[in-house]
Amino acid sequence: MSSVVLITGAATGIGNLTARALAADGHTVYASMRDIQGRNAERARELLDLGRREGQDLRVVELDVLSDASAEAAVATVLREAGHLDTVVHNAGHLYVGYVEAFTPEDIRHLLDVNTLGIQRVNRAALPHLRARRSGTLLYVGSTTSVVVPPFLGPYVASKFAADALAQVTAYEVGRFGIETTIVMPGPFTQGTEHFPNAGRAGDAERNRAYAELDPMVARNEEATEALFPPGVDAHPRAVADEIARVLALPAGTRPFRTVVDFSQAGVEEVNEVLRRAQERFVTRLGFGELLHVKGPEPLRAP
């Protein structure tokens, strides 16, 4: 069933591929990105041209997840033009590579602002509408790093841990209003995104030099990651976009809470299942078991 979808961070990578996949499936897609009149103008035009060429309802909207006002304005634009909003795909994010000690508190604060608080800003803009309609889906592009915790990505992993926790606890609460949650957890990708090429580096050069003996490991990080992929497998992020499209095509009430797209075979699915069972037992023992399920529509009362 087609719906109105807002995607954050749709200029490149997973967000861009997801916008294309969902538009091809017949959804009305708002591909959001920063600076659509400037540095991302060409990327915005590409998506708009694709929509016109293919007869798809593919639109572009300005949204900077670092700005409350920008998030509010983007959601207001969607509501004004489309009349409603069904799904938010939280995809915007940035990668840091380096030694944890060498990242200044300001470095880490900025990454948390993008990867974690950006989600909160967009949710606060969208949730009043979704709650009023008592339906909708929040779909988060998480990360398997919040389970397997690879080296040399400390601030990034911390931000994804925090975002995952925020998504889980938000899910308890918004589920009472008929709003579903899915966390899609991609594994590592070394092609098809600008994650690694555009990764941020630590701001403290002196602390960075103190870890020079580990530099060869950092240098072969991408190569080591690629070695995890089975021979002949096309480990491309379009698989994540395809999984998001699959999840959103499922009937309301049947979407998975978590799903993993990981060509590195890290065993994240097994860990997720253990954690799910423990979490369900704990929340049920607290007496809040009803929060584990999305509340369906209210039954019609006889006159």
Q: pLDDT digit string (tens) for 10-68?
A: 999 999 999 999 999 999 999 999 999 999 999 999 999 999 999 999 999 999 999 99
pTM recorded for the entire structure: 0.94
Distance CA 207, CA 215 (A): 13
Cβ-based neighbours of 176, under 8 Å, separated by 6 or more: 291, 295
Q: pLDDT digit string (tens) for 82-132?
A: 999 999 999 999 999 999 999 999 999 999 999 999 999 999 999 999 999
How far from 109 is each of 49, 69, 155, 169, CA to CA, in Å? Answer: 37, 20, 9, 22
For residue 282, with 0-12 CB atoms within 10 Å meaning exposed, 13-18 middle and 19 or more buried, which class applies? exposed
- Indicate the Cα dihedral angle 131, 137, 143, 149, nearest 10°: 40
- Structural domains present in the chain: 4-292 (3.40.50.720)
Of the candidates 10, 75, 14, 62, which has an alpha carbon nearest to the alpha carbon of residue 241?
14
pLDDT of res. 286: 97
For the cut 60, the answer to whether the pLDDT of residue 9 exceeds it is yes
Strand order in the sheet with 179-186: 58-62, 28-33, 4-7, 87-90, 136-141, 179-186, 258-261
- How far is C-alpha 53 from the geometric centre of its chain's CA atoms? 28
Are 172 and 279 in contact by the 8 Å Cβ rule? The answer is no
Distance CA 123, CA 106 (A): 24
Strand partners, 183: 140, 258
